C-alpha cells in the first residue's frame, strides 16, 4: 500500500464551523494570541486561558466533521494513511481516521501544569463535565490545564511526524498558512519523488523549490479533486 500523509491545519475544520486563526475574522483577531495561547500568558493569567479553552471545548461539541474530513478518512481503506494535524479538535477521529498525530495537543484532554507531557497525567475530559476549573488537580497535584501545546513550549509529537513525512509516497497539505514552526517545516522532510499536494482556497507561502501542486479549493471540494487525481495517476 502506498503511504499517504496529510498535514492539516485550521482550514480543514473551517467548513465544520470552527474559525481559522489568521484569516480575516479569525481567532487571533478576536483574542491576543500571546494572552491565550502562550505559556507566558498561562503563567500570567491561568484563569483567562482555562476559560478560553473551556469555550473552545464547548463549541467543539456543537460541530461535526465536514465532507473533507470524511473523504480523508475514506482513504484509510486504500492507502496507508497518517494524518498529522495542527488542529486540537477531534474531527478527523470523529470522521473515522484511525491514525492521527496531534502536533498541538487535544482540546478534549487535560494535563498537569507542572509536567504537561507526562502520559500518566493526561486525561480525557468526559463530555458531561467539559470545563476545567481553577483548583482542579492533575494526578501530580498541580493545577489541571488544557492539553494544548502553547507558543513557547516544545512540540514532542514533531519527531514521529517527521518520520511519517520522510516515508510518505504522497503528502497532502490542507488548510494551513504554514506560519507556525516546527509544523511548517515538515514539508522539507518529504523525500525526492514524493508527490506533494496543497489544498487551500488562498495563496500560501511555501518554499518555491518544492514541487507542490496547488489545488486552489476549500477542503471538501479540494479533496474531491485530489481523489480524482489519485485515482487517475496512482491506480490502486
Ligand atoms: P491559519 O489560520 O494560520 O491558516 C488557515 C489556512 O486555512 C489558511 O491558509 C486559509 O487560506 C485556509 N483555509 C481557509 N478556509 C479554508 C477551507 N474552507 N478549506 C481549506 N483551507 C482553508 O491556521 P493554521 O495554519 O492551522 O497553534 O495555524 C497553525 C497554528 O497557529 C495553529 O495550530 C494554532 C495557531 O496559533 C496554536 O494555537 C499553538
pLDDT tens digits for range 165-211: 999 999 999 999 999 999 999 999 999 999 999 999 999 998 889 99
Is 104 tagged catalytic?
Answer: yes
pLDDT at residue 8 tops 90: yes
Ligand 1 atom index nearest CA of 28: 36
* Cα 149 to ligand 1 centroid, rounded to whole Å: 16
Catalytic residue, chosen from 69, 98, 104, 214, is 104
Ligand 1 neighbours, Cβ below 6 Å, are 9-11, 14-15, 20-23, 26, 37, 86, 104, 149-151, 174-177, 179-180, 200-202, 204, 218-219
Report whether pLDDT(216) > 60. yes
Confidence of residue 233 (pLDDT cuts 50, 70, 90): confident
- What are the residues whose beta carbons fall under 8 Å from the beta carbon of 123, sequence distance 6 or more? 109, 110, 111, 138, 139, 144
Neighbouring residues of 30: CB distance < 8 A, sequence distance ≥ 6:
none
Q: Is the pLDDT of residue 236 over 90?
A: no
Determine what percent of the chain falls in helix, strand and coil, rounding each to the nearest 5.
35, 20, 45
66-109 pLDDT tens trace: 999 999 999 999 999 999 999 999 999 999 999 999 999 999 99
Instruction: Tell me how crowded residue 24 is: count the other CB atoms within 10 A of its CB.
Output: 6
Amino acid at each position: 500500500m502506498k503511504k499517504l500523509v496529510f498535514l492539516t491545519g485550521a482550514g480543514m475544520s473551517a467548513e465544520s464551523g470552527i474559525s481559522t486563526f489568521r484569516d480575516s475574522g479569525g481567532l487571533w483577531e478576536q483574542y491576543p494570541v500571546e494572552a491565550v495561547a502562550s505559556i507566558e500568558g498561562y503563567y500570567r493569567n491561568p484563569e483567562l486561558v482555562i476559560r478560553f479553552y473551556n469555550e473552545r471545548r464547548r463549541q467543539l461539541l456543537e460541530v461535526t466533521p465536514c465532507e473533507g474530513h470524511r473523504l480523508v478518512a475514506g482513504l484509510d481503506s486504500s492507502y496507508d494513511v497518517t494524518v498529522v494535524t495542527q488542529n486540537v479538535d477531534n474531527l478527523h477521529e470523529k470522521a473515522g481516521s484511525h491514525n492521527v498525530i496531534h502536533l498541538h495537543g487535544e482540546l478534549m484532554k487535560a494535563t498537569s501544569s507542572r509536567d504537561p507531557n507526562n502520559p500518566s497525567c493526561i486525561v480525557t475530559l468526559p463530555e458531561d463535565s467539559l470545563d476545567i476549573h481553577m483548583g482542579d488537580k492533575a494526578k501530580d497535584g498541580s493545577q489541571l490545564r488544557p492539553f494544548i501545546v502553547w507558543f513557547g513550549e516544545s512540540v514532542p509529537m514533531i519527531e514521529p511526524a517527521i518520520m511519517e513525512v520522510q516515508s510518505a509516497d504522497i503528502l497532502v497539505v490542507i488548510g494551513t498558512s504554514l506560519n507556525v514552526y516546527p509544523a511548517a517545516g515538515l514539508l522539507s522532510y518529504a523525500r525526492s519523488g514524493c508527490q506533494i499536494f496543497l489544498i487551500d482556497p488562498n495563496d500560501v507561502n511555501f518554499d518555491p523549490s518544492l514541487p507542490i501542486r496547488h489545488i486552489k479549493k476549500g477542503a471538501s471540494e479540494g479533496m474531491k479533486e485530489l481523489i480524482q487525481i489519485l485515482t487517475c495517476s496512482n491506480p490502486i
